Structure 1
Amino acid sequence: MSLLATVLLLLGFTLDPATATTFLDTVSEAMLWLDPQSLLEPWENLTLTCVARFPTKDFQLIMDGWRLKQVHVNNYVTSYKFPLGKITSNTTGLYRCRCGVEPPTTELTDLNRWTMLSNLVEVTQKEPLPQPWLFAEPVPWITSHIATYVLCHAALRGVTFLLKLEGDDSFLEVSKAQDNEKARFIVKRPGNYTCSYRTHDGGTPSEPSATLTIKKYDIPPPPVFYFIGNYPKIKYLSTYEILACKAPRNVAEFQIRQGDKVLNIYGVSPFRDIRLLYVNLTELDSQGPFTCRYRLHRMLETWSEDSKPIELMWSDGTLPAPKLIAEPSSHGLEPGSTVYLRCTASKDGLLFGLQRQGDAENPLIQMLKPTGSEAVFELHDISTIDSGNYSCVYMEQAPPFSGSAPSELLELQVNGPPPRPKLEALWKGKVPLGREANFRCHTQKEKVNVELRRVGFRSTFWMNQATTTSSADLKLPFVGPQHTGNYTCLYTAMSPFNFESGMSNTVEVIVEEWRNVDEEQRGQHKLKHYHPQC
């Protein structure tokens, strides 16, 4: 995994799979550009420049999924040039690069020795030129008062960019990138946009980019509101709860609320799109639920939609412990069945919480507010993953919010291994050489780490997390013929739990045949193949 991704995880930021992919691609630690000797004839004398975001001594150039060249320089540099010269049929193809890193470990593998792969660059030797890529910064939407930017990137530096709006022939924005590789356009209208580029005034425009849809919202979409850490848990009354409100773009102000009441809660913003809130439980005059929202500018009255609500639970342990029993049983439970956990107190009108004992903390699994003195927690479609020690707690719903001691531990034992995941191919037929092979691993469980494995290999080819859904997207980012084979996925628990599923069904990857390289060159590449690991 890249150094940047590791730092983000250590900070406690977890992202949905789609968001994670977009974010990491945007801040890739290596970038690859085409530097022609002349923009009038770009294929006559071409150099590929691999740019690192930090000084390094090692660079790799990868063509059509094979490692083409690897260099080690004596001094730390931030870029390296790979000259291709005049482009021929043997040098057309898809290229990426990556840079060496020096982690604090002596055990260097492809997982920690190299950055993630750079952007993909296509060398075609023909016109029209390869398409650029177009994306929104920071979000693909606008409001009545706030515009957004779209960035058009080309692998060639110094070209002129053209932005078009579908359905409006009069709309054409032009920007010359000078020595840069991208152009930024401000967008104030919703619609479907594409961009292209030309190398000189009389040149033929490139293939258009993929379409980017910009939407318009009257009210900005809601932020994401979550607990810091993988699971909420029952707190002691004297402690703090740390919550995070994450907006989709940089904002001017955040609010945390209970209903229509705005709470004055201390917080910090490590970035302009996130607010960390330190909730002092002793200062609350009600239990929630809590929501957060944001506004894009302090001069605007319009706030975003509210986030999904969060409820907190705490206990001072002063009230008598409840009793917890399982129905139909707590031992020998069959996978796929339902178990009912009954938590009984001595009074009505309480808030009940079910917690599960973990390695370092006791995660809060469910909360209920029954009208009587008993809460019935339901665990559906159970498996051995649900095995463990459970207890329940209750707290009063009026100040001073006294709470109970936890019940005696109740052990659940579910027969059999964890359910196997299912691996799905998101493509049809053969995978084009140098492109991505995208998979989806259906785990049936949330909050698990998901890995892509190749049959016969021990190493992990890609990792992701199923944090809020029961599936995770995985990929081989840059396939060559050597990646033909059968692949499977598995999942493991996030802290504080500990379990590992069996392997899923297999999915066969067939990569189209090697092209434009003679037998002697192909043999050299096979001696230097690489695995595109996270």
Structure 2
Amino acid sequence: MSMLVAFLLLWGVSLSPAAEAATFFDTTPDLWAEAESLLEPWANLTLTCRAQLVTKDFQLFKDGVLQEIVHTDIDAKEYRFPLGAVTSDNRGRYRCCYAMGSRWTGLSNLLEVTGAETLPPPLLSSKPVSWITPGLTPTLLCRGGIRGVTFLLRRDGDDQFLKVVEAPEAVEATFPVHQAGNYSCSYRTHAAGTPSEPSATVTIQEMATPPPPRLTVEGKSAAVLLLGRKGSLSCVAPLEGAVFQLRRGDKELLINRWSSSPDRVFFDLKWMAPGDGGLYTCRYHLRGEQMPWSADSEPVELLLSDETLPAPDFSAEPATLRPAVGSLVQLRCRAPRAGLRFALVRYWDGYQVLDLQSPAGAEALFELRDVSPIDSSNYSCIYVDTAPPFAGSVPGAHLDLHVDGPLPKPQLRPLWSGAVSPGQDAVLRCESSVPYFTLELLREGEVVASAYHPSTDLVLTYVGPQHAGSYSCRSRSRWPLVSELSNPVELQVAGS
């Protein structure tokens, strides 16, 4: 049983068999520097790569290029790479990895060795969140690159360091935070030493109630459930270990739930009657007595149809089902009477709600503007009565819409200027004018990085001379829709 599974069972939350099988152990190694003397940290340095599992093989990288492969005679959890005095030959950005069976793990954290009089800045992060609420005190974690230093925390507006923590056997220190503000941290190698460059600022907010979770149904903000269909509502909190509640109006709903990770819960939509449609919200609170509830999530609307009412009249204007790219398509859904709730649905792996309307009359007019191949799909509409007995229709006639042509090409732009320094990440932003599931970064026809909706940033991690070249991106929507390639962007690596 994995640590994650044990955690969930401890809190009384069950995992689905598929979710339990999907849990995994983090194999990322840890890399830090140890100085022979903290009075002169760059005079004689050793880099320690610590694995999560025992191994006999380690690799050390500098500025994105493999420097050394080590094979030990016995299993070990760490290996020490002697660096010696820091000079122009060994200054750089280091990472390491180790072998797990026949493969290598991912790269470790980044360690910067400068040899400069001014020490490089540490990393500051907040755990588990960046806000203070009753019953929750966040922690700031300050991590440096050299073991045994003293860490200093500062809040904007204060003349002195807020707190000083010595870490003789560690490379990081934690600071409980009880007050809102903008925080940064630094470190020094000895009492008379000059503090390092400060970290980036982390803002801690004070809130009366925790921020809202996110509620979705099959990943959307609305759904139509036909008689006998099953589904689930997903409620995701911004932290782990919370108690969740599903509500319709002011009423708590006690329905079966399960979880795949400590920050979310799934509510099963089974045995629902037509009267159970409407707006749903969820909220959460931290475990403990008298903990405040979070703000409510944005609502999700469920339309439940028992399919006892006649199908609506569903038609397209213009009548052609092969409209030109960029044109306007109107989809008209007409019911036998007024006072109903209409849903435009697209059939793709089940019904997906695209739009909802409650017109004054008996007809709803849905518009697809500036259509592209992404709009090619099978459309229909459904209506339900939101008053007792809450009856609903069968779907209207299916209209199979085809828009010919490729998806428009996205725009790719670098988030840097000039040449990229070796060892840094190179971030490229790929912006698409149409909805997408995945963005892909390509070099010489090969996908080298990808990002999932809604992210637009594609990252080349730990750039070395081998990354120099021409890059383009493309977007993928529903299979097999793929966009044209963007215009290329040239990546230059300094010194190569």
Q: TM-score, length-normalised on structure 2?
A: 0.87
Distance 1:28 1:328, change over 3 A: farther
How many angstroms apart in 1 are the aligned matches of 2:412 and 2:271?
43
1:255 to 245, 254, 266: 245
Q: CA deviation at 1:73?
A: 5.3
Q: Does the aligned pair in 2 maintain the 1:450–1:463 contact within 8 Å?
A: yes
Distance 1:463 1:114, change over 3 A: farther
Letter in 1 for 2:29: A
How many angstroms apart in 2 are the aligned matches of 1:231 and 1:363?
10
How many angstroms apart in 2 are the aligned matches of 1:153 and 1:284?
55
How many angstroms apart in 1 are the aligned matches of 2:63 and 2:434?
36
2:169 to 169, 176, 179: 179
Match of 1:463 in 2: 450
Q: TM-score, length-normalised on structure 1?
A: 0.81
Cα deviations by residue, 1:352-394 (Å, 9 ceiling, x for unpaired): 2222232x43433233222322222221221011112212222
1:403 correspondence with 2:392: yes
Match of 2:474 in 1: 490
Q: Does the aligned pair in 2 maintain the 1:230–1:447 contact within 8 Å?
A: no
1:282 counterpart SS class: coil
Match of 1:86 in 2: 85
Between 297-306 and 197-206, report the one with greater CA deviation: 297-306
How many angstroms apart in 2 are the aligned matches of 1:228 and 1:59?
43
Q: CA deviation at 1:451?
A: 1.0
How many angstroms apart in 2 are the aligned matches of 1:281 and 1:401?
15
How many angstroms apart in 2 are the aligned matches of 1:394 and 1:74?
71
Q: How does 1:19-418 map to 2 (within 5 A)?
A: 29-56=28-55, 58-72=57-71, 77-101=76-100, 113-143=103-133, 146-228=136-218, 233-250=223-240, 252-280=242-270, 282=272, 285-300=275-290, 302-358=292-348, 360-418=349-407
How many angstroms apart in 1 are the aligned matches of 2:229 and 2:121?
55
1:35 counterpart SS class: strand
Cα deviations by residue, 1:307-337 (Å, 9 ceiling, x for unpaired): 1111123333333222221112343312222
Runs of at least 5 residues in structure 2 that lack an aligned partner in the other structure: 5-17, 21-25
Match of 1:474 in 2: 458
Q: Does the aligned pair in 2 maintain the 1:28–1:118 contact within 8 Å?
A: no
Letter in 1 for 2:269: V
Q: Relative contact order (C-alpha < 8 Å, sep 6+): which is higher?
A: 1
Between 230-239 and 88-97, report the one with greater CA deviation: 230-239
1:482 counterpart SS class: helix
Match of 1:434 in 2: 423
Distance 1:143 1:328, change over 3 A: same
Q: Does the aligned pair in 1 maintain the 2:222–2:301 contact within 8 Å?
A: no
Q: CA deviation at 1:184?
A: 0.8
How many angstroms apart in 2 are the aligned matches of 1:101 and 1:269?
30
2:420 counterpart SS class: coil
Q: Does the aligned pair in 2 maintain the 1:28–1:117 contact within 8 Å?
A: no
Q: CA deviation at 1:167?
A: 1.1
2:159 counterpart SS class: strand
Between 377-386 and 53-62, report the one with greater CA deviation: 53-62
Q: Does the aligned pair in 2 maintain the 1:138–1:249 contact within 8 Å?
A: yes
Q: CA deviation at 1:98?
A: 3.1
RMSD: 2.8
Cα deviations by residue, 1:397-427 (Å, 9 ceiling, x for unpaired): 2355333222222111213211111112212
Distance 1:322 1:212, change over 3 A: same
Match of 2:490 in 1: 508
Q: Does the aligned pair in 2 maintain the 1:226–1:310 contact within 8 Å?
A: yes
Distance 1:158 1:230, change over 3 A: farther
1:80 counterpart SS class: strand
How many angstroms apart in 2 are the aligned matches of 1:491 and 1:73?
45
Letter in 2 for 1:370: P
2:80 counterpart SS class: strand
1:313 counterpart SS class: strand
Q: Does the aligned pair in 2 maintain the 1:437–1:476 contact within 8 Å?
A: yes
Q: State the percentage of identical aligned residues.
A: 45
Letter in 1 for 2:450: M
2:272 counterpart SS class: helix
Distance 1:338 1:30, change over 3 A: farther
How many angstroms apart in 2 are the aligned matches of 1:464 and 1:401?
42
